Amino acid sequence: MCCFSRPVQSVADTNIFARASRDGRQFLAYQMKFRAGEDLAMILPLPTPARSAEDAVRFINLEKYPEFFADLKKGFPEPQPKAAKGDLPPSRSAPGGVLAVVEVGGFEASFVPTVADFARLDARYRIPATTWDGLPQYRDFGFAVFRLRKPERGEKKVHPMAFEFPRADRGVLFLPTVHIHDGTVPARARFDHALYCQAAEAPRAGWRESPGLANGFADARKAEGLLDPDGHVYLREMRGQFDNRDVGV
């Protein structure tokens, strides 16, 4: 899941999509429902190369394609029960000036090159520095930060947040799933995730392959280049308690 700069009451129905881009870069899209009592930021750690430039991340506006993940789900129809007797089978840089803010559809977004650069953000959109002390794996990461307004009432579902970033390891697709809420990092956490990816080879066990190509159930044009229309999509669902760590493909 993501990290939040302020307390959240609930987060659910998280969807993440990953695909390799050109020149060792990666596409990533993220959507979830959340409930909070104040404005806050969602922070996604990214395994970017050391000393990445402040404009290394290209943000992508999916405001006009809010159903992106709903369409991906259509590529994985639930199996129909068979008409048979018996039971059915079970289904990095030094601090400087204020970081740039980009308008991306319904969000304001920034790329934070290193942990030290969080000091250049508004205090409402930072995670306490002591939190990162317990996460040495992110010492050399960059971070995508999205500012979210509190829901006017109840739970809010945001349109997909999407961007393209350079990868330190060009052989791995990265899906950010670590939970950091209220400045704490539990060893295990409750996941409510649907992870999607497009990869040159089928991922290891636990992933399902779409029966058809992406262009049969999703609109690659509206997806602004995130999707390969002529490729299959893979899905892994993670519901319940899991080790609190990111997923690599």
Where does the pLDDT of residue 90 fall: very low under 50, low under 70, confident under 90, or very high at 90 and above? very low
Higher-pLDDT residue of 167 and 41 is: 167
Spell out where 113-160 has E strands.
142-148, 156-157
Condensed to tens digits (0 to 9), the pLDDT of residues 113-169 reads 988 888 888 777 777 777 777 778 888 899 999 988 877 766 677 789 999 999 999
Instruction: Work out the number of other CB atoms within 10 angstroms of the CB of residue 69.
Output: 24
What distance in Å separates the CA atoms of residue 25 and residue 28, rounded to the nearest whole number?
10
Evaluate if residue 28 carries a pLDDT over 90. Answer: yes
Evaluate if residue 87 carries a pLDDT over 50. Answer: no
Q: Can you say whether the dihedral through the CA atoms of 45, 51, 54, 58 is positive or negative?
A: negative
Q: What is the pTM of this model?
A: 0.86
| Lowest-confidence region among 1-10, 58-67, 204-213 | 1-10
Show Cβ contacts of residue 22 under 8 Å, excluding neighbours closer than 6 positions: none
State whether residue 114 is helix, strand or coil: coil
Q: For the chain, state the CA radius of gyration.
A: 18
| Lowest-confidence region among 76-90, 114-128, 177-191, 224-238 | 76-90
Q: What is the mean pLDDT of residues 88-96?
A: 43
What distance in Å separates the CA atoms of residue 129 and residue 119, rounded to the nearest whole number?
9
Q: Which of 131, 90, 111 is nearest to 41 (CA)?
A: 111
Condensed to tens digits (0 to 9), the pLDDT of residues 107-128 reads 888 898 988 888 888 777 777 7
